């Protein structure tokens, strides 16, 4: 099934307790596309880059079945740039620098060839830009999923609420879920957020796994216990990409299939953090992914016999 | 199978964001016995209380199949007392008051009738006291499990290391695992701790679940997502009690059976936190426990088909 992915394609400079990267390719839509394209094709990308964005990165995505007709290239401008530093626990980070550049006035245009797509993944972006994408789709996709972040809750809550009301599934992390709902308990937070529109909610807890909520049902997937988390940048996007990629591949939006999608997303995220940027995502094969998913089965599978 | 439980039986006074308890009955061995006695009998208790400890609490334990011959009652002294205050996240707490009282010079004596027991659960206590129990057993139990805490790592590390070297299974929480091993990654921490003696290691992560390590294998069980965690006091002991109770009931110390034991322990802990002290543990029936375990199956169970 076809999948539209919307989000930034950008440069990052990352410092972790394990090392420091140069200016490397990143961006939500980059990670989502690398992850989702393992499972479904075409991925129809919507983004904006400057003239400084490497052509070979675009070519590599094309070779993966990612269509780039919806990616605007502004030759005389610079790509979005983010620089950050992670602390020892890898769950918290400081932003050192943000340069919006081409993102400052991004007006997404959905190519005709993307119309009729079955799945839409709105990566973290200005809510008004996410809304502009939804508005341009002539047929509503079977599932609209979105990611967002606390920054938009602080600065654009009204717009954010409007987009959240339009989507089927929302990805947030635990602190964002608490901020968005005003509830500390994630169970109560989930109930409040689902009242805002989404029928499905995924709460990401980083190294502590992820929860999927729907009606009064809940499913939990752990993160894989790793020796080292080398660089968490993009892990959430890679998770979302694996999730939506699996859902699009199977064309099944049942709660039961979303459980599997959460495991697939968790497996993909566990690769992402092993090296800087998208490096590891570019290396892995289908066998690697299948093996990793089997590790999740081993990690949580147990026999119970109630006597 | 018979199970010896060693630990404090005491009074607690607890403050949480949800309320404040009077001086109520607590103590590691109290929680462990209430939890384990759902699964195996006899539980052979080793502890010490003062003349102030309520006879009806002892009678209630006896009625559950908990033998108290190894519980010393020092009529003219007072029971151990702890008072603490939990913060909003319920994962951190401040100790407001600690009165050792009868625990100050506790010298455990194992009754002859306890000799030959198959399982030993050393609740959190001074390591030298834990060691005194091991030394008195004429036949080594099939499985020796122990709990401990950071306080002993700070004040009695040499004694603690000697006990750890004698046991088969150790329970610690995530920060204690890091302190004990000097490793931040829990995977690396587990490897270091298992080199100290225990073949099995359980790392408790509170609301984030628990990990079981053995050789190069790992199993993860989540905590049940709850609307409210009312009072986390005793949750770790209740978890350990459910774990060792299940292992003793099934008389099976395989890694596979310990996975189930982790789920049973998690289910028991999820009851413990619903009310102050042991209140909830005294109310629940076998049906309640079975239903709760089924909730865990629903929470983590997924279908995967690799195509």
Q: For residue range A39-81, what is the model confidence (pLDDT) as tens digits?
A: 999 999 999 999 999 999 999 999 999 999 999 999 999 999 9
Report how far residue A242's alpha carbon sits from residue A15's, in angstroms, rounded to the nearest whole number: 25
Give residue-wise pLDDT tens across range B105-140: 999 999 999 999 999 999 999 999 999 999 999 999
pLDDT at A3: 98
| B170 bridge partner residues | B146, B201
B-chain residues within 8 Å CB-CB of A219? Answer: 298-300, 302
Peptide bond into B42 cis (omega under 30): yes
Interface of B with A in 238-297 (CB under 8 A): 256, 259-260, 262-263, 290, 293-294, 297
Mean pLDDT score across all residues of chain A: 95
**Lowest-confidence segment of A190-194, A215-219, B297-301 by average pLDDT:** B297-301
d(CA B10, CA B30): 8
Domain CATH code at residue B150 = 3.40.1190.20
CB A244 within 8 A of CB A121: yes
pLDDT at A91 over 90: no
- Burial class of residue A56, CB neighbours in 10 A (0-12, 13-18, 19+): exposed
Contact criterion met (CB below 8 Å) for B89 and B66: no
pLDDT of residue B284: 98
Task: Give this prediction's pTM.
Answer: 0.93
Give the pLDDT confidence score for residue B304 in this predicted structure: 77
Q: Is residue A306 part of a domain?
A: no
* Per-residue pLDDT at A248: 98
User: pLDDT value at position A229?
Assistant: 84
Question: In terms of residue numbers, what domain contains B269?
Answer: 3-300
For residue B168, is it within any domain? yes
The per-residue pLDDT for B296 is: 94
Q: What is the pLDDT of residues A256-300, one digit of tens each?
A: 999 999 999 999 999 999 999 999 999 999 999 999 999 999 999
Binned at pLDDT 50, 70 and 90, residue A198 comes out as very high
The closest alpha carbon to B219, from B266, B251, B149, B179, belongs to B266
Residue B306 lies in a domain: no
CB atoms within 10 A of CB A39: 24
In a domain, B122, yes or no: yes
DSSP string, A67-133: EEEEEEEETTS--EEEEEEE-TTSS-EEEEEEE-GGGGG------GGGTT-SEEEE-S--HHHHHHH
* Contact with chain B for residue A222, Cβ under 8 A: yes
* C-alpha torsion sign, points B231, B236, B239, B244: negative
- The residue whose two tokens read 């064309």 is A251
Q: Using CB atoms, which residue from B185, B300, B304 is nearest to A227? A: B185
Residue B117 CA: distances (Å) to CA of A290, B138, B255: 45, 10, 21
SS3 B210: strand
According to DSSP, the residues that pair with A9 across neighbouring strands are: none
What is the pLDDT averaged over residues A111-137?
97
Rg (CA), chain B: 18
pLDDT score recorded for residue B306: 61
pLDDT of residue B229: 84
Q: Is A225 on the interface with B (CB under 8 A)?
A: yes
Give me the residues of B, 118-137, that contact A with CB < 8 A.
none
Alpha-carbon distance A188 to nearest alpha carbon in chain B (angstroms):
6
Task: Find which of B91, B183, B304 to mutate to test the A interface (most A CBs within 10 Å of its CB).
Answer: B304
CB A162 within 8 A of CB A134: no
Q: Which of B78, B255, B246 is nearest to A301 (CA)?
A: B255
B228 contacts on A by Cβ (under 8 Å): 185
What is d(CA A131, CA A136) in angstroms, rounded to the nearest whole number? 9
Contact at CB, B209 and A222, closer than 8 angstroms? yes
- H helices, E strands: number in chain B: 11, 14
When the pLDDT of each residue in chain B is averaged and rounded to a whole number, the result is 95
* Pick among B225, B250, B287, B295 to test the A interface (most A CBs inside 10 A): B225
Indicate whether A19 belongs to any domain: yes
From chain B, the residues in CB contact with A225 under 8 A are 186-187, 211, 218, 220
B149 near A CB under 8 A: no
User: What is the rounded distance in angstroms from the CA atom of residue B301 to the CA atom of residue A269?
Assistant: 20
What pLDDT does residue A307 have?
56
* Top-confidence residue, A243 or A20: A243
Q: Is residue A81 part of a domain?
A: yes
**Per-residue pLDDT of chain B in tens (307 residues, 90 and over written 9):** 899 999 999 999 999 888 899 899 999 999 999 999 999 999 999 999 999 999 999 999 999 999 999 999 999 999 999 999 998 777 778 899 999 999 999 999 999 999 999 999 999 999 999 999 999 999 999 999 999 999 999 999 999 999 999 999 999 999 999 999 999 999 999 999 999 999 999 999 998 999 999 999 999 999 999 988 888 999 999 999 999 999 999 999 999 999 999 999 999 999 999 999 999 999 999 999 999 999 999 999 887 766 5
What is each CA distance from A277 to A43, A97, A233, A245, in whole angstroms? 20, 17, 7, 20
A280: buried, middle or exposed (CB in 10 Å: 19+, 13-18, 0-12)? buried
For residue B24, count CB atoms less than 10 angstroms from its CB and return exposed for 0-12, middle for 13-18, buried for 19 or more. middle
Report CB contact under 8 Å: B299, A218.
yes
- Asked if B228 lies within 8 A of A185 by C-beta distance, the reply is yes
Would you call A260 and B302 a contact, using CB atoms and an 8 Å cutoff? yes
Mean pLDDT of A19-36: 95
The stretch A137-153 carries a mean pLDDT of: 97
Tokens of B77: 């002294």
**DSSP secondary structure letter of residue B242:** H
Helix (H) or strand (E) holding B11: strand B10-16
Residues in A closer than 8 angstroms to B306, CB to CB, are: 290, 293-294
Task: Compute the distance between CA of residue B36 and CA of residue B238 in angstroms, rounded to an integer.
Answer: 8
Cβ B242 vs Cβ B261: under 8 Å: yes
Short-list B14, B70, B39, CA closest to B281: B39
The predicted model gives A183-212 an average pLDDT of: 96
Whether B98 is in a domain gets the answer: yes
Strand partners, B278: none
Report the candidate in A34, A42, A35, A39 with the shortest Cα–Cα distance to residue A4: A42
Which of A184, A227, A300, A305 is the mutation pick for testing B, counting most B CBs within 10 A? A300
Instruction: Tell me which of A232, A302, A303, A305 to substitute to probe the interface with B (most B C-beta atoms closer than 10 Å).
Output: A302
A294 contacts on B by Cβ (under 8 Å): 306
User: Which residue carries 């070519």 as its tokens?
Assistant: A59
Q: What percent of chain A clears pLDDT 90, i.e. is strictly above it?
A: 90
Please indicate, yes or no, if residue A107 is contained in any of the structural domains: yes
State whether A225 and B218 contact (CB < 8 Å): yes
* Cβ contact, residue pair B187, A227, below 8 Å: yes
For residues A31 and A276, the answer to whether their CB atoms sit within 8 Å is no
Structurally, chain A folds into a number of domains equal to 1
Q: Measure the CA–CA gap between A7 and A60, rounded to whole angstroms.
A: 18
Minimum CA–CA partner of A300 in chain B:
B220
């Amino acid at each position: 099934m076809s999948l539209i992915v919307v989000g930034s394609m950008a440069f990052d400079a990352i410092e972790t307790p394990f090392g420091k990267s140069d200016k490397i390719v990143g961006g939500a839509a980059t990670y989502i596309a690398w992850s989702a394209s393992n499972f479904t094709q075409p991925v129809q990308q919507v983004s904006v880059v400057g003239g400084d964005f490497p052509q070979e990165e675009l070519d590599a995505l094309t070779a993966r079945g990612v269509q780039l007709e919806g990616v605007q290239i502004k030759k005389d401008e610079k790509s979005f740039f983010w620089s950050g530093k992670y602390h020892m626990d890898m769950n918290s980070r400081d932003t050192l620098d943000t340069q919006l550049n081409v993102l400052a006035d991004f007006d997404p245009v959905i190519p005709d060839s993307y119309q009729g797509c079955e799945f839409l993944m709105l990566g973290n972006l200005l809510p008004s830009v996410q809304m502009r994408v939804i508005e341009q789709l002539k047929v509503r996709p079977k599932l609209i999923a979105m990611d967002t972040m606390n920054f938009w809750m602080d600065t654009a809550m009204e717009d954010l609420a409007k987009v959240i009301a339009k989507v089927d599934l929302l990805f947030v992390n635990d602190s964002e879920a608490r901020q968005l709902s005003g509830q500390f308990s994630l169970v109560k937070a989930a109930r409040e957020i689902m009242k805002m529109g989404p029928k499905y909610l995924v709460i990401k807890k980083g190294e502590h796994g992820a929860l999927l909520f729907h009606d009064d049902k809940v499913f939990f997937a752990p993160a894989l216990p790793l020796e080292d988390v080398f660089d968490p940048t993009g892990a959430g996007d890679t998770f979302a990409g694996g999730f939506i990629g699996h859902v699009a591949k199977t064309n099944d939006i049942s709660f039961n299939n979303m459980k599997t999608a959460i495991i697939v997303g968790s497996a993909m995220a566990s690769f992402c953090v092993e090296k800087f940027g998208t490096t590891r995502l570019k290396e892995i094969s289908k066998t690697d992914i299948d093996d990793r998913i089997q590790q999740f089965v081993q990690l949580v599978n147990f026999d119970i016999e109630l006597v």
